[in-house]
Amino acid sequence: MNGISNNSGWWSGFKNQLARAAAALPVGAWHSLCGRPLILPYYHLISDEPAPHVRPLYRYKNISQFKQDLDFFLTHFHPITLDDLLQSLGRGRSLPQRSFLLSFDDGFREMAEIVAPILKVKGVSATFFLNSAFVDNRELGFHQKIALLIGQLAAGRATVLEEKLKGLFREKGIMGNETAAMLKSVRYANRAILDEAAALGDLDFDLFLKQQKPYLTSEQIRRLLQDGFTIGGHSVDHPFYGDLTLDEQLQQTRESMRYLAEQFGVSSKAFAFPHSDTGVSQTFFKRSYGEGTLEISFGTAGLLRDSWPRHFQRFSMEKTFLKPRLIMCRNYIRRACRQSVKRML
């Protein structure tokens, strides 16, 4: 274990050094080296306010940081729309030499309240990928429940609550020493344990939904569409697809896309996998595209090229507070390293 950890740390440090060196080069040089005309940065949340349903799980950028990101992209890349990308695939229209398409996952209300107004001023399009079960705050995602429970641990009575939670988790066969880590280990299939855990901590998920309204409403979604933004599917309730059977993957995707078409008249069949596309087979793509459920899809593996021609990999602008130039360099370095390895094999 220690050897793997050390190697991983060494490799991460080496890539950071390469990224910092590459940051001194013009952006055009990165593109020339990697041969990627399109980049696909994505986010989940932009806010200056604390978001207890998100913050314990991952970092998100504030408004000033987001604007800085946009200024960087607009300086070095040309913004395109989802339709531009579809046109380039269907009719062979070339994209500008350096293009970017922005997207946001999970459908948080800040998309309408914060993100869309900023994008309109900047003249940037975006695609918002939504979970059908969360629209209008009808349900709370299990990963949001995990975040709220972790926050509850830090808000007084932590020792008593921790012991209760550890007891509950051990009864369910989930072992560990740190309660927060045990909570983070909860998978989609055993997510019901989170409601039991909430009862132990006097945490009311329904009340949180009612008071905080973390997700977009139908009215907000229609307004986004009227303003020229695009909407895509992100599954029904955000499972990790690698934990699902093929039939479950297909059902989650079909229902997500059907909901958008019926409720909002969304005609473009764009889908972004929740978490990642790890564990998704070629059979899934053949069936989803063959039956017309999807016409374009997105993963989260960075700047890597995917084997399915209409499946594109995006890279996260979160998880770190590095400047956008360094985030981009890290992704270009990763792509260049992967290409070099393939050439040697």
Average pLDDT for 295-301: 96
State the Cα–Cα distance between residues 203 and 229, nearest whole angstrom.
35
Structure tokens given for 309? 């021609």
Average pLDDT for 200-213: 95
pLDDT score of 2 more than 50: no
Average pLDDT for 163-175: 90
State the Cα–Cα distance between residues 271 and 254, nearest whole angstrom.
10
Record the pTM. Answer: 0.90
SS3 81: coil
Least confident of 184-188, 249-253, 338-342: 338-342
Per the listing, tokens 């395109």 go with 80
Residue 4 confidence (pLDDT): 38
Average pLDDT for 18-41: 70
Residue 12 confidence (pLDDT): 60
Average pLDDT for 142-165: 86
Q: Which CATH architecture has domain 27-139+218-344?
A: Alpha-Beta Barrel (3.20)
Average pLDDT for 265-291: 97
Contact 147, 191 (CB under 8 A): no
pLDDT score of 75 more than 80: yes
Q: What does the chain come to in residues? A: 345
Per the listing, tokens 């080296």 go with 33
pLDDT score of 93 more than 90: no
What does the pLDDT look like over 99-137, one tens digit per residue? 999 999 999 999 999 999 999 999 999 999 999 999 999
pLDDT band at 9 (very low <50, low <70, confident <90, very high): low
Q: Which is nearest to 42 in space by CA: 229, 299, 268?
A: 299
State the Cα–Cα distance between residues 114 and 264, nearest whole angstrom.
21
Least confident of 16-30, 140-154, 171-185, 325-339: 16-30
**How does the average pLDDT of the chain come out, rounded?**
89
Average pLDDT for 153-182: 85
* One-letter identity of residue 98: R
What does the pLDDT look like over 207-249, one tens digit per residue? 999 999 999 999 999 999 999 999 999 999 999 999 999 999 9
What is the β-pairing status of strands 126-130 and 270-272?
A: unpaired
Residue with the bigger pLDDT between 27 and 184: it is 184
Contact 44, 274 (CB under 8 A): no
* One-letter identity of residue 291: E
pLDDT score of 18 more than 80: no
State the Cα–Cα distance between residues 165 and 149, nearest whole angstrom.
10
Question: 124 — phi, psi (to 5°)?
Answer: -115, 135
Residue 187 confidence (pLDDT): 94
Average pLDDT for 334-343: 63
Residue 90 confidence (pLDDT): 83
pLDDT band at 175 (very low <50, low <70, confident <90, very high): confident
Residue 5 confidence (pLDDT): 39
Structure tokens given for 149? 């429970």
Contact 166, 172 (CB under 8 A): no
341, with CB counted inside 10 A (0-12, 13-18, 19+), is exposed
pLDDT score of 14 more than 80: no
Residue 13 confidence (pLDDT): 63
pLDDT band at 327 (very low <50, low <70, confident <90, very high): confident
Helix ranges restricted to H, the chain: 2-22, 27-34, 63-76, 82-90, 110, 116-122, 142-153, 158-171, 179-184, 193-200, 205-212, 218-226, 246-264, 282-290, 324-344
